[in-house]
Amino acid sequence: MAKKTEYTELPGRAELEEELSRVRYKGRYHGVFRNTVGVLIVVAAVSILVATLWMPVLQIYGSSMTPTLKEGEIVVSFKSSKVKRGEVIAFYYNNKVLVKRVIAFPGEWIDIDDSGYVTVDGKKVEEPYLKEHAKGDLNIELPYQVPEDRYFVMGDHRSTSVDSRNTAVGCVSEEQLVGRIVYCIWPLGNAGPVK
Distance CA(125)–CA(91), nearest Å, equals 22
Cα dist from 92 to 115, 176, 178, whole Å: 30, 5, 7
Is residue 100 among the annotated active site residues?
A: yes
Catalytic residue among 77, 100, 161, 164: 100
Catalytic residue among 47, 63, 64, 79: 64
174 and 79 in contact (C-beta within 8 Å)? no
- Residue type for position 120: V
The residues annotated with a catalytic role in the active site are 64, 100
